[in-house]
């Protein structure tokens, strides 16, 4: 059995002595989070995607929300104290985070940005997030993720 190549997200969890599980799935390119949940057998409602936003101030923010949900930019901006937020352009994701689209984890980015986790994550013992590369999912306790990233929990979804 080949030794697993750890991602920055896994190394960060290891250093913090936080237990987690890794799920690998076959995938060569970006697919949406709902399809990832289907491939891994993870419950869709416990599967979360990582979005990177930029505020009017030019600061970056990480928003972690259910894969089937849409971010409400006005709510998210209010939560982080910005006038407005916009999604980081796909071409800038790697430069800002060190990750590529479809493999962006809220853990282990180049810098730790202010993070908001959708409050529904607190309903579950564990949630499923990107493991830091396409084809890798991490299962971790939502509170442990929040503690490690300094995240706040809030409702930042459209219609939620």
pLDDT (0 to 100) of residue 36: 86
As a whole number, mean pLDDT of residues 65-69 equals 94
Q: What is the pLDDT of residues 87-126, one digit of tens each?
A: 999 999 999 999 988 889 999 999 999 999 999 999 999 9
Q: Residues 21, 122, 17, CA angle at the centre, nearest 5°?
A: 40
Tokens, residue 140: 């971790």
| CATH for the stretch 28-154 | 3.90.960.10
pTM across the whole model: 0.92
Is the pLDDT at 1 greater than 60? The verdict is no
pLDDT (0 to 100) of residue 159: 76
**β 152-154/115-118 pair status:** parallel
Q: What is the pLDDT of residues 134-145, one digit of tens each?
A: 889 999 999 999
Question: In 3-state terms, what secondary structure has residue 90?
Answer: helix
Buried b (16+ CB within 10 A) or exposed e, 100-112: eebbbbbbbbeee
């Amino acid at each position: 059995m080949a030794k697993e190549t750890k991602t920055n997200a896994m190394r960060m969890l290891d250093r913090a002595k936080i237990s987690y599980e890794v799920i690998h799935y076959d995938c060569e390119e970006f697919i949406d989070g709902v399809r990832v949940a289907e491939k891994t057998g993870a419950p869709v409602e416990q599967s979360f995607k990582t979005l990177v936003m930029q505020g009017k101030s030019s600061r970056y923010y990480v928003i972690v929300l259910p894969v089937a949900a849409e971010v409400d930019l006005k709510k998210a901006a209010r939560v982080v104290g910005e006038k407005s937020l916009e999604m980081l352009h796909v071409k800038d994701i790697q430069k800002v985070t060190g990750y590529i689209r479809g493999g962006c984890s809220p853990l282990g980015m180049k810098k730790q940005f202010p993070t908001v986790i959708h409050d529904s994550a607190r309903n579950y013992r564990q949630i499923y997030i990107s493991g830091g590369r396409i084809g890798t999912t991490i299962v971790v306790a939502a509170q442990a993720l929040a503690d490690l990233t300094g995240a706040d929990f809030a409702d930042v979804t459209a219609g939620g």
